[in-house]
Every structure is written in structure tokens, then in C-alpha cells.
Amino acid sequence: MLCIAHRGGPGPENSLEGIRRSLALGVPAIEIDVWQFHGELWVTHDRRLGREIAGHQVLPDLSLEQLEALRLSNGEPLPRLRQVLELVGERALLNIELKGLNCADTLQEQLTAHCRDHGQSLDTYVVSTFDHTQLAQLQQTMPELRRGLLLYGVPIELPHAIDVLAPYSVNISMDFMPQTLVQTCREKGKKVWVYTANHPTDWRRLVEAGMDGVYTDHPDAFMRYLNNGHL
């Protein structure tokens, strides 16, 4: 089972510090969130400031200078995807979740440039999003880039969506994981990754269900759980 460090791993979330901690733990996969503003991809989860980052505005309303002035709780500037690509390299699978509109073109440009400049394969990346139109776009422009079909709920036309988008994984919520949905994914030969599990009782349930990957805010504890024979 793949342990995926949710939002970069042990806090602050979506920070370079958190990602460094995950890498030091030997976490095999790390998930981050990105938004596209001013032609750049910024690594953060929330559309509105106030929870993790001081302020009250919404990100799309901020100027480039205002975005550059934002600080995380550890004093770190808002990371950019380019920095994360440099930091992670090939040391872990990087799951990049597209949080807003118009991310796909910038993502393609940055991933292509990074892989070219560092001799790195696209095999170390999975791109996921609830915006399935962007998945379809990436399928056409970067077919070799693995895609994660991100769901919250139980779609009526899931078999059709899988056939059309040809994802590597289907990423589902613990709130909506009926056996019929999981079975459809299995029959289509897709990985099933589940978000977000932070308690041993949930981990046990997912291990027993044979899930392929789990997003967790506590990758250190989850890896100990797996290494100790699920005790």
C-alpha cells in the first residue's frame, strides 16, 4: 500500500519544510496542491486566506507582489511548483493536485522544462484534479503524464469517465467508497487511492479493503503501522 503524504506531509501544510520532513522520513509519495496566478503555479490548498496563511482575501484577487509577500506560519514564502520539483526530484512520487482553473498549460510547460533540464522522467508524477476537463486536456497534450481521477461522491457515469480519461488512479474519499465504485475501478485496472485517513481504525479498514494508496496527514505513523504488520 502506498503511503501518500497529504498536503506535503508533517506541517506546515504545503510547505517546503513539510516536504523536506516527508523526504527525510522516506515517504514514497507526496501530494501537494497548486493554483495558477500570474502565469505561475503556487503551492497552497485554500482559495481564501485566514486558515493557514494570515489575511482575509481570496487568492485570485491578489497581485503578484501580494502573493510574493505572503508567509506561512513558519515564515516561509508561499512555495512555487518549480521549487517543489527541484526539492523532490526523483526521491518520491509527486502527486500534483490542480485546485483552480487554467493550471494545465502552465503545468505542462513547467514539467516539460524540469524533466528536460534534469534528465528526469514523467513517471515520478501523477496529476489529479476535480476538474476533469483539465485531465482531458492533459490527456491530449501530455498523454505520457499519469493522471488521477479525483472524486468526491459516486458519479453515475464512472465507467464512461474512466474509459474517456484513461486515468492511472481513481482517487476517492473515505466518505464515498461503496463496493460497487471500488469494483468498477478494479475491473478497469485502475489504482484506488483513498483520502484522507489519519487514524489506525481507518488504516485497518483500508488495508483490509485492499486499497492501493492512502493519503494521510501522519505519514510517519502510517508507515510505522504498515511496517509493524498492521498492529
The band of 11, judged by pLDDT with boundaries at 50, 70 and 90, is: confident
Q: How far apart are CA 91 and CA 79, in angstroms?
A: 19
Share of the chain above pLDDT 70, in %: 99
The band of 228, judged by pLDDT with boundaries at 50, 70 and 90, is: confident
Q: How far apart are CA 201 and CA 152, in angstroms?
A: 21
**Cell of residue 194, nine digits:** 483513498
Domains of the chain: 2-227 (3.20.20.190)
Q: Pairing between strand 40-43 and 29-37? A: antiparallel
Which pLDDT score, from 0 to 100, does residue 184 have?
97
Coil/strand/helix, residue 186: helix
What amino acid is encoded at 87 in this protein?
A: L
The string of pLDDT tens digits covering residues 68-98 is 999 999 999 999 999 999 999 999 999 999 9
Contact in structure between 153 and 171 (CB atoms under 8 Å): no
Q: Is the pLDDT of residue 202 over 80?
A: yes
To the question of pTM greater than 0.95 for the whole model, the response is yes
**Cell of residue 176, nine digits:** 464515498
CB atoms within 10 A of CB 210: 10
Q: How far apart are CA 124 and CA 118, in angstroms?
A: 13
The kind and range of the H/E element at 34 are: strand 29-37
